[in-house]
Amino acid sequence: IIVSLLDNSKEYKAEIIGLDPKTDLAVIKIDAKDLHAIPFADSNFLLEGDVVFAIGNPFGVGGSVTQGIISALNKSGIGLNQYENFIQTDASINPGNSGGALVDSRGALVGINTAILSRSGGNNGIGFAIPSNMVKTIAKALIVDGKIDRGYMGVSIGDLTSDLKEVYTNKEGALILGVEDGGPASKAKITRGDLIIKVDETIIKNANDLKNTVGGLLPGKKINITFERDNKIKTTSMVLDKMGDDGSSASSDGSAHIKGLYLDTLNDEMRYRYGIPQKIEGVLVLEVDNDSEAEKFGFKRGDVILQVEQTIVTNLEEFNQAFTKTKKDKIRVWVNRGGYISPILVR
């Protein structure tokens, strides 16, 4: 990566310190002297109507500044990143502005410009920026660890529809659609149909609120959950697990039976991510190490293990039990790959 500063007097080779694909943020380092860091504003104090300025290099024509206002806050569901809590602005943001600063009237950073919504590819008054507080949190973690560890509840979630609001006393919250076997939520007795309305003291208004709140906490943290079940308010506590790269739990070790194979029980969130029909149950292959036994046998990421010899498996515990019970030297493992079922021979 080559970095050129605004005066274009010199180019610097940048070292990548850390990446976070889920928010499209990265921290890089250059060997330069006499640089001054931009001050960070507290994005929690932003208001709709505040004047902001977008800085960037649109269309490669050189550094420029455009002015606008904050049109909306806490925007999500845009489909740009996995974790969305955007500032929306009408300041002109075009291709080349992405990664540039969104600053307030004092010149303090309030966000990082990230994208526009446009049919033509040019600005039409709808631009988005990642809030400075989120940027600061992620940047600190990347500098320390080079990666982001996010908390994980082990649930698939959705929002209340207008029809479902008639069933619940609370009209806002994150609806539990599915619970992963053995995950933090399962251990805390959370079930499908529960409506999460608070995490510790943070009010949860929708599924995105829950995703961002839990994702902003570290694995191992104990949290208190307030939820509605059968029109009654209940509380429980759980210890968060660590989220894997595919959105599933990363706490499970590699398979004790097949080296280089990483597995977890298939849940609704994994089904959505991999396009797996609801009717399929089994154990999902999360990752296969290069040059491992698992790769040589033919396993691929995204495979769903359905059966070990004559034993149908619907979760990770059943898979391990089936492997332990079989006495054969050559074991047939039946997988669903893209809708086609075939055996893999494990020697």
Task: Please give the Cα distance from 102 to 120 (Å, whole number).
Answer: 23
* Residue 243 per-residue DSSP state: B
**b vs e for 213-245, b when ≥16 Cβ sit within 10 Å of the residue's Cβ?**
bbbbbebeeebebbbbeeeeeeeeebebbebbe
Nearest Cα residue to 244 out of 222, 283, 215, 272? 215
Per-residue pLDDT of the chain (347 residues; tens, 9 = 90+): 788 776 666 788 999 999 887 788 899 999 888 888 899 999 989 999 999 999 887 766 667 888 999 999 877 665 555 566 789 998 877 776 778 899 999 999 999 988 655 444 555 568 889 999 889 988 988 998 888 888 889 887 888 888 889 889 999 999 987 787 788 999 999 998 899 999 999 999 988 889 888 888 888 889 999 999 999 999 999 999 887 655 555 444 445 578 888 888 888 777 776 778 888 899 999 888 878 889 999 999 899 999 998 899 998 889 988 988 887 888 999 999 988 888 999 98
pLDDT, position 213: 87
- Whose tokens are 């602005």? That residue is 89
Q: How many CB atoms lie within 10 A of CB 80?
A: 17
The domains found in the chain, sorted by start residue, are 2-145 (2.40.10.10), 151-242 (2.30.42.10), 261-346 (2.30.42.10)
Residue showing tokens 């809030």: 131
pLDDT at 262: 84
* Percent helix, percent strand, percent coil in the chain, to nearest 5: 15, 35, 45
Q: How high is the pLDDT of residue 77? A: 60
Q: Whole-angstrom Cα distance, residue 222 to residue 241? A: 10
CB count within 10 Å of CB 328 equals 9
Predicted local distance difference test score (pLDDT) of residue 119: 47
Are the C-beta atoms of residues 21 and 38 closer than 8 Å to each other? no
What is the pTM assigned to this prediction?
0.57
182's tokens = 């053995």
How far are the Cα atoms of 55, 325, 344 from residue 12, in angstroms, in the given order?
A: 20, 59, 50
| pLDDT for res 255 | 59
What's the CA gap between 117 and 114, in Å, rounded?
A: 11
Phi first, then psi: give them for residue 179, nearest 5 degrees: -130, 130
- What is the structure's pLDDT at 194? 94
